[in-house]
Amino acid sequence: MQKQFYFIPATTKDSTNLYISPLHVYEFFHAQTLCKELLYSGTQTGQYSFLPLDTHTELREENNIHNTFSTLKNVEKYFKTKQKHYNLESFTLNIPYCGGLIAAFSYDYALQNNTQQNTAYFAFSDVFLVFDHKKKEILICGWFNTKSFWEQYSQRILLQIQRLSRKRTKTLATELEKKEQNNHLLENITFKNIISKEHYFKSFQTIQKEIIQGKSFQINLSQGFTANKPNEVSAFDIFKHATIKNPAPMMCFLEWEQNKNNKKIKKSIISCSPERLFSLDTKRKIFTQPIAGTRKLTKNRTQDEQLENELKTSEKEIAEHSMIVDLLRNDFGKVAEFGSVEVTEFARVEKYETVMHLVTDIEAQLPENKSAFDVFSALFPGGTITGTPKQETIKILEREEIRNRGYYCGSVGYFSLHGTADFNILIRTLEQTDNELYGRAGGGIVYDANAENEYEESLHKWAGITKIFSQNNDTTDTTIQS
């Protein structure tokens, strides 16, 4: 018997007070072990956030190349087996996600020769909340075998949301006090570079030699940063601050436990990603938005206008951006219908909290014999955070970068039951393992790049992360110790 899709609104026109931030709902339900993943749109342009509930299957691939889910083909096989248990025709809502597989792929998942770091996380859910930020609505959605089971479940969730709405009003003063305490604790978190500036310059010179020898045209070299997190601060506390200090359209938060040396440790992904790896909609249109080309954002209008004009007219930046766009067009061409790949907007400037970027829109049509998994396989890891040609560049980066990237430059998103998908690229991201916070920032290097400029650019990007931990809104304060 196939499960049917049901939904009810948790908000009505005469009860708009019930529209609560996904952050507060996550925190409330997480305390009841109802959720561990949140896909959050942190900007005004993003319409939806999704909160999966009761993820009843978790699939972890940790340091085991023989694990059932260690290849994307095996993950797809599992997904298609699950898909058969749902009457997809019963899903009639015009939203991009209807339940399915939430997936987190580390960058290391793509490294064929590095079996010790081949890491990913999957969680399957067929009940979830939809937050429509434009309509200020919450929908409770789920797949159930009988309507009576659905009614029991949905009423329980609805009562919880109503309870949370009343509780929010009563406890606001207490929460403000707690926020002040957390602000003080966050200010004490200081990141340290895992390499010296001299080491970065040495790697830079080695990479430029590889480019001059013709092994690659552009290589995205990154440097890493670490900090210790106080026990009093949760990973989700940091994420809440990130939504205020560094909002971005492809944000996400995930938390789980994993085994390491026969010990359970906490793992979290805290991402302020502005970049989409790809999306696939119900009309089988695939879409990506490569980001390549950066200038710092000073918050001084005159200076920012000068920097924006400099970015848009720089022959070097446009040439580098074009290389990445060509790489992405070629990646799309591996799975798209012949002749359907199109650049719909080229090299516009988008501004974020600490930097501005050149961004291009690329779309194509996916044929009926291809799936979202084929698109992911063709694009992952993203070309903007590796370089071109991709596979040779990945090998060079593996030799030159100290410490594996981990989830940095990996991807988080969903494979929806009705065939859609949406994945980010995990830049502007922190990975928490127990109480260690780890992240990276980098930029594309070409044959005529300047080492000092590239080093400074990576720090400007990293400032988007360190801004989360500072009460100072000056984006030049990177809060880093060498």
Q: Could you tell me which of 472, 217, 401 has the C-alpha nearest to residue 320?
A: 217
Contact 421, 376 (CB under 8 A): yes
CB atoms within 10 A of CB 345: 11
Select which of 40, 121, 407, 408 is catalytic. 408
Q: Can 11 be counted among the known catalytic residues?
A: no
Q: Can 408 be counted among the known catalytic residues?
A: yes
For 399, residues 6+ apart whose C-beta sits below 8 A from its C-beta are none
CA gap 255, 378 in Å, rounded:
27
Contact 119, 63 (CB under 8 A): yes
Instruction: Write out the DSSP string of 307-364.
Output: HHHHHHH-HHHHHHHHHHHHHHHHHHHTTSPTT--EEEEEEEEEE-SSEEEEEEEEEE
Q: Can 133 be counted among the known catalytic residues?
A: no
CA gap 278, 123 in Å, rounded:
20
Bridging pattern class, strands 480-481 and 191-193:
parallel
The structure tokens listed for 276 are 């989409």
The alpha carbon of 211 is separated from its chain's Cα centroid by a whole number of angstroms, namely: 29
CA gap 305, 309 in Å, rounded:
6
Whether a cis peptide bond, with omega within 30° of 0, leads into 249 is no
Sign of CA dihedral 434, 272, 325, 366: positive
CA gap 466, 430 in Å, rounded:
10
The structure tokens listed for 114 are 């590095």
Select which of 357, 405, 440, 460 is catalytic. 357
Longest dimension (CA), the chain: 68
Select which of 100, 442, 444, 464 is catalytic. 444
Q: Integer distance in angstroms from the first to the last C-alpha of the chain?
A: 60
CB atoms within 10 A of CB 316: 12
Select which of 60, 295, 321, 428 is catalytic. 428
Helices (H), 59-123: 72-83
Select which of 119, 288, 384, 475 is catalytic. 384
Is 424 in a helix, a strand, or coil?
A: strand
Q: Can 384 be counted among the known catalytic residues?
A: yes
475-479-482 Cα angle (round to 5): 130
Place of tokens 């890891």: 381
CA gap 412, 109 in Å, rounded:
12
| Residues labelled catalytic | 357, 384, 408, 428, 444
